[in-house]
Structure 1
Amino acid sequence: MAPKPVKLALRRALRETRYVRPVPVGKATGLVRDVYRQLERDFGMLAPPVALHSPSPPVLAATWLMLRESLVAAGATGRADREIVASLVSQANACPYCVEVHGMALSSLGRSSVASAIEAGGVVEDPRSSAALSPAASAELTAVAFSFHYLNRVVSVFLGPSPLPPSVPDSAREKAKAVLGRFLRPIEDASPGLSLEFLPAGSEDFAWAAGNPTVADAFSRAESVFASVPVPPAVRDVVLRELSSWDGRPPGLSRSWVDAVDLPPDDVAAARLALVVAKAPYQVDDAMVAGAGLSDRELIEVVGWSSFVAAQRCVALEAHAGR
């Protein structure tokens, strides 16, 4: 875990969150407090991509379950391979924040050349492509990919392009990244399953996770949360309908594709936001968020649900492609 002065500085990074106000550490109670404590202990810092979900405690817990049991907990794969998958997915989703964070982690693990190659868009071997993967290893790496298809969308909406604040001068960025990277190293006692207590058991089966019961349990519990958040049924219907025929490719820079969708008349703004989050989160802007007129909790839940179902679709497409 980071020393206290660094830990406090990392907590202040939550202030950079857009559109919602995360729960400050000093005011966290109940489930939020418990997730924050485990997050700082096991991930090394109060990671803003997770903590920003705190206006909705169940969604915060679901996000942490997915991240911890895929990326952080000990298992059949090494942390470096998981970080490579996280970085490759983030690079494919054009999420510079996550590419930078996980590049720091790779550098701290002695894989700085891989991190540099990914950031530059070079060719890097994807650990998921190995023919020697065991079912447990395949489940873990698929879970990492799922988590980052989810997190990349959330981060694109609520955070900026870098985990470092704009006040850090260019001359100091590499040193700052090296310092932060040290706190992202794996801890020795990150036993699998310790986050499961935060949420009740789910009922959904994830076929891709069959090789790792803990991962399957974590994602089933998370799915139950997203299935129950109060997203309007008409919004759910239009997003799921559009995703069912989506090939996974971003629709480009224009938002004209959204105008061609038959949106529910009573929930146009919320449906537009949810659909753009799912397919093109980089297109979300201030006007779109303001137009939805959602409270902090509602916004986290709509963005979270849309990101989750989009991640499901992305993982299904990757499985069909044989990755």
Structure 2
Amino acid sequence: MSTPFRYTQPPSPKSATGRVAEVHAQIAADFGIDRPATFMVLSSAPELLVPAWALMRESLIAGPGSRTGKELAALGVSLSNNCPFCVDAHTVLLHATGDHALAERLARGDDPESEEHTRVLDWGLASRAPGAALRPYPFPEEHAPAYLGTVLTFHFINRVASALLSEQLMPGGVQRFRAVRSLAGRALGRTVRREAEPGASLPLLDTLGPGPDWALGSPVGPAYAALRAAARTGAELLDPDERALVHHALRDWDGEHPSAVLRGFPTRRERPGARLALLAALAPYRITDEDVAAWHMPWHNDEQLVRLVAYGAFAAVDRIESALALPAAQEATP
């Protein structure tokens, strides 16, 4: 039986215990999707699964602001990152919000009819480029932690999905049919429209750091800090020279997609780990069977592959996040 997983065999949620079992229970209750592949693929590395879920929950699901707006921002991110899996997922979730006409316009490749919706979608699209002009926000200032948390969540999830999942959201690609998208969205409608309690995922985290300035006072901050700390541990899988190579490449990255010939990327033979991490950061859809095979030694396992991909993915998120402007109130502080 085919699965959406390209290079790993994640453990079944039925075997989960402790915090991981609690995460799967929260996902089913608050996301409404049983065993979503985007989180299943992270379950080989529970230290990543828990904060990744917390960040998505506290921003997209429980954070302030319109769910339609945040889905539009996430869709913009997914389009900017060339992630068909996530583009289709957010189209279905827009159906779940009740915005069926909007979902179908976007599925056809048309622009939203509403200028407000267009601004939010374009804002998400622009967020791939570090230092892009994201101000003024196309939403109220007080909703910024939730919207920023959402776009940064999906800059991470897009990359993990493109690297480790197939492009098909549903078996046989049936999400291409309008009736299937609509029915799937309607099935999720009650959960998506239900108000979720902010902060409910934070007790699952090992530590509660304050997080970045743009999320101070919001549950999004500790969740972001926890995912950042967990993702950075993947650096242990690279030697110092490889880490420096990834760091320097991301330092100079301006959001552009690499050329087809991947100039400047390490070769599979010389530095397969650095190549995988850098591809995960900049072009995860370019990761091939040969790239994974070149890195995969007998002592490597699914957890290490997920951690290496997550390290590269979050290196790009770090680059984007570090270039964000502070909220206006903080900019005015002497």
- Give the structure-2-normalised TM-score: 0.81
Paired residues for 1:193-232 under 5 Å: 193-203=199-209, 205-210=211-216, 212-229=217-234, 230-232=236-238
Pick from 241, 260, 263 the counterpart of residue 256 of structure 1.
263
SS at match of 2:42: coil
Q: Does 1:89 align with 2:77?
A: yes
**How far apart, CA to CA, are the structure 2 residues paired with 1:319 and 1:114?**
30
Q: Per-residue deviation at 1:105?
A: 1.1
Paired residues for 1:73-88 under 5 Å: 73=62, 75-88=63-76
Contact 2:74 2:150 in 1 (8 A): yes
Cα shift readout 1:70-121 (whole Å, capped 9, x = no counterpart): 1111x32011100000111101111111111111111232323433444454
**How far apart, CA to CA, are the structure 2 residues paired with 1:153 and 1:36?**
21
Q: Which residue of 1 aligns with 2:301?
A: 295
Q: Per-residue deviation at 1:152?
A: 0.8
SS at match of 1:16: coil
Cα shift readout 1:128-181 (whole Å, capped 9, x = no counterpart): 5665744431121111110111111111111122211117496xx333222221
Percent identity between the two aligned chains: 28
Distance change (3 Å), C-alpha of 1:208 and 1:121? farther
SS at match of 1:213: coil
Paired residues for 1:1-323 under 5 Å: 15-45=3-33, 46-73=35-62, 75-124=63-112, 125-127=118-120, 128=123, 131=137, 133-166=139-172, 168=174, 173-185=177-189, 186=192, 188-203=194-209, 205-210=211-216, 212-229=217-234, 230-234=236-240, 235-259=242-266, 268-293=271-296, 294-317=300-323, 319=325
Contact 1:67 1:144 in 2 (8 A): yes
**How far apart, CA to CA, are the structure 2 residues paired with 1:169 and 1:181?**
11
**How far apart, CA to CA, are the structure 2 residues paired with 1:76 and 1:218?**
15
**How far apart, CA to CA, are the structure 1 residues paired with 2:107 and 2:323?**
24
**How far apart, CA to CA, are the structure 2 residues paired with 1:228 and 1:204?**
19
Contact 2:211 2:223 in 1 (8 A): no
Q: Which runs of 5+ in 1 are unaligned?
A: 1-11
Distance change (3 Å), C-alpha of 1:107 and 1:23? same
Contact 1:264 1:271 in 2 (8 A): no
**How far apart, CA to CA, are the structure 1 residues paired with 2:51 and 2:227?**
4
SS at match of 1:22: coil
Distance change (3 Å), C-alpha of 1:100 and 1:318? farther
Contact 1:85 1:126 in 2 (8 A): no
Q: Which residue of 1 aligns with 2:115?
A: none
Distance change (3 Å), C-alpha of 1:122 and 1:240? farther
Letter aligned with residue 253 of structure 1: A
Contact 1:203 1:224 in 2 (8 A): no
**How far apart, CA to CA, are the structure 2 residues paired with 1:151 and 1:296?**
17
Letter aligned with residue 56 of structure 1: A
Contact 2:233 2:311 in 1 (8 A): no
Distance change (3 Å), C-alpha of 1:114 and 1:249? farther
The size of the alignment, in residue pairs, is 301
**How far apart, CA to CA, are the structure 1 residues paired with 2:136 and 2:150?**
15
Contact 2:100 2:182 in 1 (8 A): no
Contact 1:95 1:156 in 2 (8 A): yes
- Give the structure-1-normalised TM-score: 0.84
